[in-house]
Amino acid sequence: MFGNLKAQPADKILALMVEFKADPRTDKIDLGVGVYRNAEGITPVMRAVKSAEKRIWETQESKSYTGLAGDSAYTQALSALILGDAVAPGQIAAVATPGGTGAVRQAFELVRMANPDARVFVSNPTWPNHLSILKYLGMETIAYRYFDEESRAVDFAGMMADLAQVRAGDIVLLHGCCHNPTGANLNLTEWQAVVDHLNATGAIPMIDIAYQGFGDGLEADAAGTRLVASSCPEVLIAASCSKNFGVYRERTGLLMAVVHETAQQALTQETLAYLNRQNYSFPPDHGARVVATILNDEALRADWQAELEDTRLSMLSLRQKLADELQTLTGSDRFGFLAQHRGMFSRLGASPEQVQAMKTKHGIYMVGDSRMNIAGLNAATVPLLARAIVDSGV
Ligand code: LMR
C-alpha cells in the first residue's frame, strides 16, 4: 500500500526553514517563515502568556474534555476582539480550531458541504497553503489580480475586474489585514467597494485574519473584517492567535460563520462542531485557555496589548530603516513601498535568480517569490540586506 503513495510537493515556506537550518554560515539571515523575532533574534513568549500559563497551572484542576466547539470563554472573547460590536453575538457560530490553518481547512470543508459547486476566488498571490488545501479538497479555485508588480501596491482595478466573474454562492477569500505574502492592503474605501460588489452578486466573503495588531493596530486591522461582517449576509472568518499572542506551536485558531438569519445560527454551529468531531474531535485547549485568560483579565489584557504594540512599532521602524537605507544607496524612492506595506511581510519584487543570489552570496533567505519577513531583521542586518538587494540588481 505505502508503495502506491506519490511524493507531494514540498511547502516552499517550510522547505526554506529546513534549508536555512542546514546552512553552516554564522552570519546567515532568516527572512523566511512568518515568525516574529525581536532584536536579539528570539521569538519570545509574551509576558501576559507566561502569566496566564502560571495562573492556569496553579488553578486548573482537570484536563478532561472541553466541548467540540472548544471553550466558550475563548470563542466569545476572541470573536469580540475581532468583530467588536459589528455583529450581534446571536449571529455568530464559532469553533476553536488547531491554529489558523485548522480554521481555513474547516471553512473550506463547510463550503464544500453547503455548496459543492462553489468556486473559491483567491488573490494572486496568496498564502501558498490556501492553494494547497483547496487542491487537496478538490475545490475549484480561481485567482484574481491583487498585486501590481510595478508599484508593489494593490492592483485594485485589476482585482475588481477579475471579481466581476463571481457568481452567487462563490467564495471570495480576502486577507483581513497584513496581506501574506505581499504586505499590500485594501483601504476602507476599497473594502466598501468589495462589499458592495459581493452583495450585488451574492458571492460570499471568507476572511483570513492571522495578523491582527501587526499592521496599524488591533482596531484598525479589524476594520475591514468588521465592515464585511456587518454588511454581508453570510461571512466566514478564519482567525489565528499564532502571531499576535506568539503561541505558534499551541495551535490556537478560531473559525467564525456570521449568519444573517438567526434561525440558521444553531444549524451552522452544529455543523461546525460536527466538522471538528470528524477531523480531530476536541480542538486543542491550552493556547485557547491562555488567550481567554488574557482577554478576560483587565491587567493581563493591557500588558498583552502593550507588548503587541511594541512588536508592531518595532516592525514599522525596521520597514522605515530599510526604505531609508535603500533610498540612500540608490538615490531613488523606488523602495518606498517597504514603508507603506503593513504586517510581517513585504514582497520585494526580486526575480527568482536575484532571490537565489541573495541566498548564495549573502546568506539571506527569503521565500522564492521574494517575500521577506521584516521581523527577521534588526538594526545591524538592515544595512546588510539593503546592500545585498542593490548588489543583486533588484
Ligand atoms: C507563513 O506564512 O510563513 C506563516 O503563516 C507560517 C506558515 O505556516 O506558513
Is 69 inside any structural domain? yes
Catalytic: 222? Answer: no
Domain of residue 192 covers 65-296
pLDDT score recorded for residue 182: 98
pLDDT score recorded for residue 86: 97
CATH number at residue 380: 3.90.1150.10
Catalytic residue among 210, 229, 323, 357: 210
Statement to judge: residues 25 and 167 lie in one domain: no
Q: Give nearest CA residue, ligand 1 atom 4.
A: 34
Most informative mutation of 11, 129, 243 for ligand 1 (most atoms within 8 A of CB)? 129
Q: For the segment 323-362, what is each residue's pLDDT rounded down to a tens digit?
A: 999 999 999 999 999 999 999 999 999 999 999 999 999 9
CATH number at residue 201: 3.40.640.10
Statement to judge: residues 172 and 271 lie in one domain: yes
Is 5 inside any structural domain? no
Statement to judge: residues 332 and 261 lie in one domain: no
> Residue 235: beta bridge partners?
258
Statement to judge: residues 291 and 159 lie in one domain: yes
Q: From start to end of the chain, where are the E strands?
A: 29-30, 92-97, 120-124, 141-145, 147-148, 153-154, 171-175, 204-209, 234-240, 253-259, 345-347, 364-365, 371-373
Is 58 inside any structural domain? no
Query: Which pTM value belongs to this model?
Result: 0.97
Is 171 inside any structural domain? yes
Please state the ipTM of this predicted complex.
0.94
Catalytic residue among 148, 162, 170, 208: 208
Tell which of 248, 267, 296 closes a domain. Answer: 296
Cell of 155: 492592483
Statement to judge: residues 176 and 290 lie in one domain: yes
Q: For the segment 286-333, what is each residue's pLDDT rounded down to a tens digit?
A: 999 999 999 999 999 999 999 999 999 999 999 999 999 999 999 999
Is 1 inside any structural domain? no
Q: How many domains does the chain have?
A: 2
CA torsion sign for 182, 184, 185, 189 is: negative
Ligand 1 in reach of 127 Cβ (< 6 A): yes
Is 2 inside any structural domain? no
Residue 316: CB atoms within 10 A of its CB come to: 16
Tell which of 232, 262, 296 closes a domain. Answer: 296
Rg (CA), the chain: 21
Q: Which residue has the cell 486577507?
A: 175
DSSP character string of 195-231: HHHHHHHT-EEEEEE--TTSSS-HHHHHHHHHHHHHH
- Cα separations in angstroms, 135 against 119, 123, 237, 333: 12, 15, 20, 39
Catalytic residue among 93, 96, 155, 243: 243
Statement to judge: residues 250 and 337 lie in one domain: no
Collect the ranges in the chain with pLDDT lower than 50.
none
Statement to judge: residues 259 and 379 lie in one domain: no
Statement to judge: residues 147 and 278 lie in one domain: yes
Ligand 1 in reach of 100 Cβ (< 6 A): no
Statement to judge: residues 267 and 333 lie in one domain: no
Tell me how far the alpha carbon of residue 268 is from its chain's centroid: 24
